[in-house]
Structure 1
């Protein structure tokens, strides 16, 4: 969809053309002047849409995906919003006005040494999962965009690779076709629209048939988006597993 500036550029062009033909060709003058008015109106409508969008809140949830990190407390702009978030925990969505935020993550019950301190920009109308990823020696906070919209009667799913020591993987139907190919650590796929179903999936080392993790009985219900997240260590404890998140 074009933005306000695109329409203003068009309107300016047609205004120049209308002026050029004002005395030499009245019918062309009227033709281009009407186009000028049309695009000025479209620019005003685009401005209104942009103003409406900028006032929409954003929705943010937090996922603890660092397998060897302790439970944490999460602060936004120095206010504690979540406490005692353990590995594999996913919060409910928090409603936030669009803007820039400072997020600090501390070991639960402490407020001295941050595990992560990061500034994030939250866009209006967007839905985010903020994932703490990596290992206790190298933590990051990464944003992933969620999309709650689903065509009526359908379902959809995406995959995020958050196992810090696992190789790139293909996600496929067990013993069958690949659904999401070659996903590396920290990467997320696009959503895939599907008919509601229950399916057995598996993670395979990318480009091979070597299964590293079975993902059995994935139940995908109508009118619901899902995200499969790989967490844990491929080598070590806690071991590799998947989370099925709504959204």
Structure 2
């Protein structure tokens, strides 16, 4: 595998999302070996990860803009993620130890800050390609993962990707093209790659776990002819879309007709706090929000208005709570509004309206909402995924690390984790 020499993520904001290479034997001894890598999400710099998918190229180094950045990458492997500034960059791949002038493949690529890219060395030495594949780390729906196939094998022909049988998710993917990203339910699946023309299984991995909020790029690399065909799976942490998000507004009229009423002012939807839990344990959470509305307090109370909050606004199970604006002012000039679900007496929350102390023609609106509706229901705050403990790094035998293969019980594949974070700090440029 490769070692980063130059601008790594260590010491940057990317440092918390390390690269780990997991190489393990497939369930069937006749099937090739998988290599799994994990990389961090994009930051205000472009993130670039190199994939070594050229079976006959031997060990290679990567130069970026004439500077040695990755050294000693063997097939099949991936590098750590490089953090590079916005703009055009020249990538050159050379045999390990060779000068940049002896590049066996090179290309110039435009990179955008905040984006993540895979730079893949594919094909054979006689006709090597350095291709770039942008990675979509955008919001992923709760309970979903994202997957894509890149056919990097020059002799396997078009490939079909099947997940746990059924029809192909990605049919007839030719070399060296990539599919669009597709969102599928997270969980344990069987991955099969079939030759489109013969429907022969050429690669397979049983009981692959897809983690929610994770983006998977699958690279079929190497050749069928010399049994070097491998599957490289690069798993990246994507952005989890908010679940249970709420929409809130001041609307004209009463709660009886608030569903069709005109929105007078949008309000920030309540969200639960995400800090430390203090005091008495196991109390029901309360979601809150604050909005400075560009309407005078007197203008709001001069006509019929209501505060409406829609829980889980994007879901089919969306429910609304509402409170009509009116009542008795407190000594400080605030107005407290009870929020309830339709035809329910139980209190679901509260809206507090008060003239703004800073702007005479503005009103401060605070929303307080129980995160669990009376009698049960959807939560208001965004779900927070539990952090998965990082596996303990284990140093593999030298021949296992280079070949990417492991010996072990076929029924329970042995797993070896190679964590480059421990190596980068001790690695010196050749």
Does TM-score exceed 0.5, indicating one fold? yes
Cα deviation digits, residues 26-85 of structure 1 (max 9, x gap):
xxxxxxxxxxxxxxxxxxxxxxxxxxxxx9421111111101101111111111111001
* 2:188 match: 198
Alignment of 1:63-212 (within 5 A): 63-111=51-99, 112-149=101-138, 150-206=140-196, 209-212=199-202
Report if aligned partners of 2:76, 2:230 keep a CA contact under 8 Å in 1.
Answer: no
Aligned Cα RMSD in Å?
1.8
Query: CA offset at residue 101 of structure 1?
Result: 1.1
Residue of structure 2 aligned with 1:233, choices 197, 215, 223? 223
CA distance in 1, matches of 2:126, 2:198: 31
Cα deviation digits, residues 128-177 of structure 1 (max 9, x gap):
00001110111111000112232233211111110111110111135422
Query: CA offset at residue 210 of structure 1?
Result: 2.8
Query: CA offset at residue 195 of structure 1?
Result: 1.4
Q: Which runs of 4+ in 1 moved over 6 A?
A: none
Report if aligned partners of 1:67, 1:233 keep a CA contact under 8 Å in 2.
Answer: yes
Query: CA offset at residue 235 of structure 1?
Result: 1.1
Query: CA offset at residue 208 of structure 1?
Result: 5.0
CA distance in 2, matches of 1:95, 1:130: 13
The structure that is helix-richer by fraction is: 1
Report if aligned partners of 2:146, 2:182 keep a CA contact under 8 Å in 1.
Answer: yes
Query: CA offset at residue 237 of structure 1?
Result: 3.8
CA distance in 2, matches of 1:174, 1:135: 31
Q: Count the aligned residue pairs.
A: 192
What 5-or-longer segments of structure 1 have no aligned partner?
A: 1-54
CA distance in 2, matches of 1:197, 1:132: 30
CA distance in 2, matches of 1:134, 1:94: 23
CA distance in 2, matches of 1:142, 1:182: 20
* 1:243 match: 232
Query: CA offset at residue 246 of structure 1?
Result: 0.7
3-state SS of 1:110 partner: coil
CA distance in 2, matches of 1:210, 1:220: 24
What 5-or-longer segments of structure 2 have no aligned partner?
A: 1-42, 237-430
Q: 1:212 to 1:174 in 2, by over 3 A?
A: farther
Report if aligned partners of 2:151, 2:173 keep a CA contact under 8 Å in 1.
Answer: yes
Q: 1:136 to 1:160 in 2, by over 3 A?
A: same
Query: CA offset at residue 117 of structure 1?
Result: 2.4
CA distance in 2, matches of 1:101, 1:110: 20
CA distance in 2, matches of 1:207, 1:165: 13
Higher mean C-alpha displacement, 207-216 vs 62-71 = 207-216
Report if aligned partners of 2:77, 2:232 keep a CA contact under 8 Å in 1.
Answer: no
Report if aligned partners of 2:161, 2:169 keep a CA contact under 8 Å in 1.
Answer: yes
Query: CA offset at residue 217 of structure 1?
Result: 2.1
Q: 1:113 to 1:178 in 2, by over 3 A?
A: same
CA distance in 1, matches of 2:155, 2:197: 18
